[in-house]
């Protein structure tokens, strides 16, 4: 899934790369899969030059075999657990968010998703002393709220902690894909990072009714997310929206409420663990439950009640 760039091969000049991207040839795989004659027309490279570039890309970017035991030891060595510092939630998740996994936090509007995100960021930058990268797709991230959560820390520690938050405002699917590739390149250049938050996915994915194109770009987004999570031992947290529909006629006794998690059926199989957050009858109370997971013990309790304070969830 490496992006086509002029520096990959001498024949791939900047003008040629732009021409290829204009025909939606974004990655090395796209270039290799494209018919040679089509590349001739787009890039004006002859048959021998196209074959030379393809052979070079296949040799450079093809998968290499790994020893299974060495791979297992590498995973154990680099895997980390990111506690949420919310006691009940950490118990649900067997300690917290595991790197190499994609987590989803879904809920209705104003159900507390943003507070959960801010709470998680506060705990990571304060207690783990790690950087956090957040895609603020709703344009509502508040550094003031984070600072308010850090009110018990002295000013120097507040400044050091806040400097560990990297905020990216992506307004389109293309912005998100480009930014994920930039993160991938930065991680390969020894950028220190353990957690990436996408808040929220529907705000950029559902700004078009072309579901075929949306799924194509979503597939691209998911592939690069999985690569980053697995290769660089990063945990992803994606916030998603639950919408409610009332089925039935005008008779209230015949009406049934149904909930739909946004982003479609393809996305429903992507997260390793899906959490749901919703408000309780208490004005500052919330319930967090595990809807699905391929890593957690299904026999354990799947929900917990938490309270919101000025310093975050408890």
- Tell me the C-alpha distance between 214 and 262, whole Å: 12
Residue 143, pLDDT score: 86
Q: What is the DSSP secondary structure assignment for residue 35, as one 8-state letter?
A: -
Are the CB atoms for 104 and 273 separated by under 8 Å?
yes
| Those residues with Cβ within 8 angstroms of residue 305's Cβ, 6 or more apart along the chain or in another chain | 88, 280, 285, 286, 287
Residue 244, pLDDT score: 77
Phi, psi of 107 (to 5 degrees): 175, 165
Residue 250, pLDDT score: 56
Q: What is the DSSP secondary structure assignment for residue 239, as one 8-state letter?
A: E
| Those residues with Cβ within 8 angstroms of residue 200's Cβ, 6 or more apart along the chain or in another chain | 113, 137, 138, 238, 239, 240, 241
pLDDT tens, per residue, the chain with 314 residues: 578 888 889 999 999 999 998 888 888 888 988 899 899 889 888 999 999 999 999 888 887 777 777 777 777 777 889 998 888 899 889 899 999 999 999 999 888 898 899 999 998 998 888 899 999 998 888 888 888 888 888 889 999 999 999 999 888 888 999 999 999 999 999 888 999 999 989 988 877 777 778 888 899 999 999 999 999 999 999 999 998 776 655 555 555 667 889 888 889 999 999 999 998 887 788 899 999 998 887 655 678 888 877 677 76
Residue 257, pLDDT score: 67
Q: Is the dihedral of CA 195, 1, 186, 77 positive or negative?
A: positive
Residue 70, pLDDT score: 78
For 217, the token pair is: 């770009």
Residue 299, pLDDT score: 58
């Amino acid at each position: 899934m490496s992006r086509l760039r002029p520096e990959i091969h001498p024949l791939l000049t900047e003008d040629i790369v732009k021409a290829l991207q204009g025909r939606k040839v974004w990655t090395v795989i796209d270039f290799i899969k494209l018919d040679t004659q089509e590349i001739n027309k787009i890039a004006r490279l002859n048959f021998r030059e196209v074959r030379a570039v393809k052979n070079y890309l296949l040799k450079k970017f093809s998968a290499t075999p790994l020893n299974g035991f060495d791979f297992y030891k590498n995973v154990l060595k680099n895997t980390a657990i990111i506690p949420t510092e919310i006691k009940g939630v950490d118990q649900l998740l067997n300690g917290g968010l595991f790197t190499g996994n994609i987590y989803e936090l879904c809920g209705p509007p104003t159900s507390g998703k943003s507070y959960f995100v801010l709470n998680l960021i506060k705990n990571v930058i304060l207690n783990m002393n790690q950087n956090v990268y957040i895609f603020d797709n709703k344009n509502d991230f508040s550094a003031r709220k984070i600072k308010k959560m850090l009110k018990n820390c002295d000013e120097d520690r507040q400044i050091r902690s806040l400097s560990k938050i990297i905020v990216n405002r992506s307004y389109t699917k293309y912005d998100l894909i480009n930014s994920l590739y930039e993160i991938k390149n930065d991680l390969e250049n020894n950028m220190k990072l353990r957690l990436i938050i996408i808040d929220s996915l529907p705000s950029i994915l559902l700004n078009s009714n072309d579901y075929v194109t949306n799924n194509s770009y979503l597939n691209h987004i998911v592939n690069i997310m999985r690569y980053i999570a697995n290769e660089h031992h990063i945990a992803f947290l994606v916030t998603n929206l639950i919408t409610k529909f009332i089925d039935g006629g005008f008779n209230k006794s015949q009406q049934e409420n149904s909930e739909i998690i946004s982003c479609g059926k393809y996305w429903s199989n992507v997260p390793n663990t899906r959490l749901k957050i919703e408000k309780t009858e208490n004005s500052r109370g919330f319930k967090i439950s595990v809807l699905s997971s391929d890593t957690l013990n299904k026999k354990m309790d799947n929900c917990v009640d938490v309270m919101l304070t000025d310093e975050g969830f408890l």
